[in-house]
Amino acid sequence: MKSKLYPVRFRDEVRHVTVPGSGDPDPGPATEHEFSTFLGEAVEAYAEASNMLRPRIRVSTDAGSHAASHGLVVRIGDAEFRIAVVRSR
């Protein structure tokens, strides 16, 4: 699996992070679950490059009455964020 390096500015310094699979000809995830995993890996790479607290990330799938809900639960320190992922096309 190929990867690309992406520049991330942290304070006055530019660091480079890599996202697994980002250098493949078709790196696009096909499902909400695959995109949630991809996004979680990108958040972890950014946190590592910028010396943030290491986030705790969980990919979630909650079955609802009409459709499953996919997304991430990201905890950084005491803060928790829920990010919903919905495929639009």
Range of the domain at 48: 3-85
Instruction: Give Cα separations from 70 to 5, 16, 38, 48, 65 (angstroms).
Output: 27, 29, 13, 25, 14
C-alpha dihedral, 81 to 5 to 22 to 53, nearest 10°: -20
Per the listing, tokens 């459709």 go with: 67
Amino acid identity at 48 = E
Confidence of residue 25 (pLDDT cuts 50, 70, 90): low
CB 31 within 8 A of CB 87: yes
Q: Which residue has the higher pLDDT, 1 or 76?
A: 76
Confidence of residue 3 (pLDDT cuts 50, 70, 90): low
Report the domain count for the chain. Answer: 1
pLDDT, tens digit (0-9, with 9 covering 90-100), for 27-47: 577 888 888 888 888 888 888
Predicted TM-score of the model (pTM): 0.64
